[in-house]
Chains A and B, each alone.
Chain A
């Protein structure tokens, strides 16, 4: 067992990481491959698939749509997440578990069921499917992630810090501005980035609720039917991948900073 742990577990962990990353790595590799078909051997290096991207108006529209939807969904889900996370971490009240369970539920429900039930309601209400309905759906599925990120940032936030501020003469608003906000700001930014990323990459909700305005994943989905378009989809996918990776790395760094701030001190006491 000892031997097994010390030799095989690290090897397994390494293989696992390869299993996780390798498939995704093929996207960037074939996005700079000269051939139309993603197959080995590689036929030569080219940027031409990337160069095609800005010359595709439908893609630019989709990118702009995704950006709008992502920013709006991120802001809304973070605001709602702040309310929930603050209530959950700071107050003890009856129904707290039930309420947080309900808020977190979209995390464990099949997305297609969320999407169709929203679709029915929107259409029954006579709402026209648009980017707005996509935002509504995205906020619903982003909230659980926002709440999780923010909970971690708010948890262990020593309530006596706010009391100390009031005790030293600061008003409620001043306390929020000078103590609460600086302490939880990294978690808030992290929540914004994470929800933006989720919205940017989300397909099912957008597929059902977008109507005629496509977001990037919906655009990609449409392009997948045409084998000839595959290389430029790979290029676009690579860009999305890199963008998501950068945003998430920043989010992670901020989250850690927030954790250090809130918990770093508590360890002394």
Chain B
């Protein structure tokens, strides 16, 4: 019978130093590798945002900054009707745009995921291409379309539907919503598509097998399971659009001005940095709260459908 253990007459080598073991660990190597990128994000994102928050508690007297803590800027940002209106309009627009994009995008994401067949990635590419092209140019093309002498007006006149150019098309909130919805369309499709792809197809078959019709199985299985994608699509559109600058400037006119214009004014031409900072912080905070509320409502609604 062979011995259970062989060659027991050995000398164990000295344990390696802790330091070396740590340097060889995944923890250390991973951190070391990610640190340049992380540092960049810390220095150019976290620090600047921190500085903005700090400024929002200060005051400015012409060119000098008074660093005593005060909530004065916040009371202006939240109290002055002009800023409050701008903020509310921005929130309204971003909410509307995010809902429109998601509602419009869901069927497409569904179509690509369930009926895209072998051409799924081609479809996705086709849909994302316009998104990658210049945002400024896309907004500009809407101005060309909706303008007084624009494509839509001249087209409608040419077709004899209207007699003279309509001024209702451009320079209002709806023009902003339409343009932003177009601009963010592709961004909403991707997360929804990804979450639909993750839905195990046999679950849908199981629902059908258990007696659900196509509509019910969609409502009870596919839709709830794709909610994470819907939620991230909403957020990914809602948060950036609240601070959009280009669209309101180009197609919004007087009625479509949003908070970004106010922020820009405070930072560009000898404005008021602390006030601009407070406006930025308020915008971020409020839009985050709105986003959380929307997520909460959707989750609750999702729980109802069982």
Contact = CB atoms under 8 A, between A and B. Distances in A.
A147 B36 CA distance: 13
Interface residues on A, range: 35 or more
Contact of B240 (A40, A109, A119): A109
Given A113-B284, A248-B129, A203 B52 contact: no
Interface string A189-203: 000001001101101
Interface string B35-65: 1111011101111110110010000000000
Nearest to A88: B34
| Size bin of chain B's contact surface | 35 or more
B215 interface: yes
Interface string B90-126: 0000000000000010011011101100000101011
A79 B29 CA distance: 17
Given A13-B111, A88-B34, A116-B277, 17 more contacts: A10-B111, A19-B182, A23-B145, A30-B144, A38-B147, A87-B37, A103-B38, A113-B243, A116-B264, A120-B48, A120-B273, A121-B47, A233-B140, A237-B134, A244-B132, A244-B133, A248-B132
A94 B145 CA distance: 51
A109 B44 CA distance: 13
B213 A108 contact: no
Given A81-B37, A110-B243, A116-B263, A94 B158 contact: no
B111 A12 contact: yes
Interface of B: 26-31, 33-38, 40-42, 44-49, 51-52, 55, 104, 107-108, 110-112, 114-115, 121, 123, 125-127, 129-130, 132-138, 140-142, 144-145, 147, 149-151, 153-155, 158, 182, 185-186, 213-215, 218, 235-236, 239-246, 250, 260, 263-264, 267-268, 273, 276-277, 280, 283-284, 287
A95 B107 CA distance: 37
Contacts of B137: 24, 27, 201, 220, 237, 240-241
